[in-house]
Structure 1
């Protein structure tokens, strides 16, 4: 036959139609991804604040329930009063933490400017063993770097921290106001109590895993920051407190944060002391602390709660870092946890969950039910 379709007229036309449909679908997916990516970049300040507010709201939901269960004589604490109390606590904690962070960051920036003149010569001297030409080349390269420009950029971003804090507090307040109607909205949205209950279990699993990750990460980061502060004090470093606080913050960035913190401590130590041997010892001690806490204590405490692929974490870190900058790096793991749990329970996306999970064994329905039952028993 002339149509080359095994003697069936129209079969070739049908195949062409299917190919056109696939091409059209692929094009629409690419366009939709580009539009979403554009919106993520353009509205990143608002979306970052909203993401942080959702995480804080999830973290404090149990606190609200705890306050609401308290009784004063024969009277219990109303839910609205418990929500207001939790919101006041969150607002106070956020404002205090933001003030401390800004103060320490300001100290580091001012000291950086004062160290800017002697930092190139101090770093270049590390390459003296390679010859005078190499040392001179390194010195000239570092001297051409505009430290003040970077300092102004960081200071400008830090200035947005307090604005973001206020916006996060507003978002959390509105989420608290809406929480009492959440179950009703879920039922009306799905128009099926069974589907609404399953969606609630999935959300509960996400909240539980993100909360557990943040709890473990906070404990490990506090221990690491405190140890770095003690080591810096022993070596007589002027910025010991600032280095401890910044180490605590950087440890929330997976993998890269601990490397940056270790290099930062060593660099500050060398600029202050000017002794390569002392700096080497400081670098080894700091690196050992980061290695033990990050590769022994952290995985031991995490256990099987996350089951995230290491390669997936790096990819998520790179993507959200490119889209949202440093805040995106902090949020990369919670966002990946959310994607893993959601994809685990959507049949069409199950293969994505297999790729994102560590052993290729994402959460199943039995584990979802077990976790929901465990959380309900804990609430009771």
Structure 2
């Protein structure tokens, strides 16, 4: 039988990606909690296996794992609520400081532009009315949003329990899709995905902890009010690549401006955030998560934007681990290796237009590029046992 022409194969791949994206958009309300539950269940596997090795029944081992998760989430919610309570108690002072900064800004604008204070006040009132109108229009969707959040939170423990309970059945389902001679490669791919996801997600937990302690502690020493709240907000937003750090800086500045009559704390907050982020990006996080999979900045930014368009904040958080999973799968398949190259950071130092060997799809070329970009192959020395 004649092989399918290359152009036809590529056209089918693009069409497949289009329809896959369409299905994801249509089913995002179902897929978002399922994907979150999938990643959380992988993080809970060590706890589950610990109790399974001591002959606990499946349901009990899963129940203890879920209880651990609930305790951790409860602690995070308690911390947020306690910090927000302090912020609410300071609301009169915040209102006073905001008015002072607005007055100073108005005077500065009046000295630099022909707009008078009355014209500025009229403009602010007009924009405020527009904002209130926009907010009123959004209120119609609040009930649906709350309902969706409740459903999301309610489905999570159910999905996590079922994914852990039926994990062996799901693994058998995956293997049955492939011929027996491909099972070794499928097993290797699944093991790599598990190692990468666990190292990435546990690394994020460690990152949230030390970013909150380090940033919040330094701001407290400097004397910034609501230092811990700024630290924890920035730590969580920093999980969203590139975009989150910008939002974290903006929120930190706004909280500082609202809590202080002076401007020097803003510079202190920005300088501290920049120093902590430099330490995190260049020293701490690479050592914690490792260099087993590197996603290039272009794929990361596009993934974050696409994830945000599909599933909002949840999609932005999930974008990077999903891209990492896809890269592992693409690197292990002959048909989609070029997509793995597109997602990866194995950047050649020279142009493939000038060096023909860089156009070849060989293990030697890939190994050389991984060495040049300091990428450690995840399958070397880190295969985990999948026995229960």
Indicate if the aligned counterparts of 1:113 and 1:147 stay in contact, CA closer than 8 A: no
C-alpha change, 1:138 and 1:230, in structure 2 (3 Å) is farther
Distance 1:275 1:98, change over 3 A: closer
Could you tell me how far apart the structure 2 residues matched to 1:104 and 1:249 are?
A: 15
1:303: which partner in 2? 290
- Measured after TM superposition, the shift of residue 128 of structure 1 is 6.0
The DSSP-based 3-state class of the residue aligned with 1:77 is coil
Q: Which residue of 2 aligns with 1:73?
A: none
Moved more, 102-111 or 88-97: 102-111
Instruction: Return the match for 1:51 from 35, 43, 50.
Output: 35
Separation in structure 1 between the aligned mates of residue 83 and residue 30 of structure 2, nearest angstrom? 25
* Residues 185-196 of structure 1: pairs in structure 2 closer than 5 A: 185-192=173-180, 194-196=181-183
* Equivalent residue, structure 2, for 1:63: 47
Per the alignment, do residues 124 and 333 of structure 1 end up closer, same or farther by CA in structure 2, a change over 3 Å counting? farther
Q: Is 2:247 the counterpart of 1:260?
A: yes
- How far did residue 121 of structure 1 move? 6.3
CA distance in 2, matches of 1:148, 1:107: 30
**Residues 306-315 or 98-107, more deviating:** 98-107
Which one of the candidate residues 136, 154, 167 is aligned to 1:166?
Answer: 154
Partners in 2 of 1:163 and 1:103 — Cα distance?
Answer: 25
Choose from 330, 335, 353 the match for 2:317: 330
The answer for the alignment partner of 2:21 in structure 1 is 37
Report deviation, 1:195: 2.2
> Where does 1:76-115 land on structure 2 (aligned, <5 Å)?
76-94=55-73, 97=76, 101=80
Distance 1:138 1:204 in 2: 61
Greater shift, 339-348 or 35-44, is seen at 35-44
Give the superposition deviation at 1:351: 1.2
SS at match of 1:347: coil
**Superposed displacement of residue 278, structure 1:** 2.8
Aligned partners of 2:224 and 2:135: how far apart in 1?
23
Q: Give 3-state SS (helix, strand or coil) of 2:345's partner.
A: coil
* Distance change >3 Å, CA 25–CA 332, structure 1 → 2: closer
Does the 8 Å CA contact 1:270/1:279 hold for their aligned counterparts? yes
Q: Kindly report the root-mean-square deviation, in angstroms, between the aligned alpha carbons of the 2 structures.
A: 4.1
Deviations 1:210-263 (A, max 9, x none): 211122222122211223323443455553343232122112111221222122
Per the alignment, residue 357 of structure 2 pairs with: none
Paired residues of 1:107 and 1:242 also in contact (CA < 8 A): no
Worse-matched range after superposition: 144-153 or 108-117:
108-117
Sort the Cα spacing of 1:323 and 1:148 in 2 relative to 1 into closer, same or farther, 3 A: same
Q: Which protein, 1 or 2, shows the higher relative CO under an 8 Å CA cutoff with sep ≥ 6? A: 2
The unaligned stretches of length 5 or more in structure 1 are 1-17, 71-75
Equivalent pairs counted in the alignment come to 351
Counterpart of 2:113 in structure 1 is: 133
User: If the length of structure 2 is used for normalisation, what is the TM-score?
Assistant: 0.74
Give the match for residue 354 of structure 2.
none
In 1, distance between residues paired with 2:282 and 2:91?
31
Tell me if the contact between 2:330 and 2:336 (Cα under 8 Å) persists in the aligned partners: yes
| 1:10 matched residue in structure 2 | none
Instruction: Return the alpha-carbon distance in structure 2 between the equivalents of residues 210 and 133 of structure 1.
Output: 54
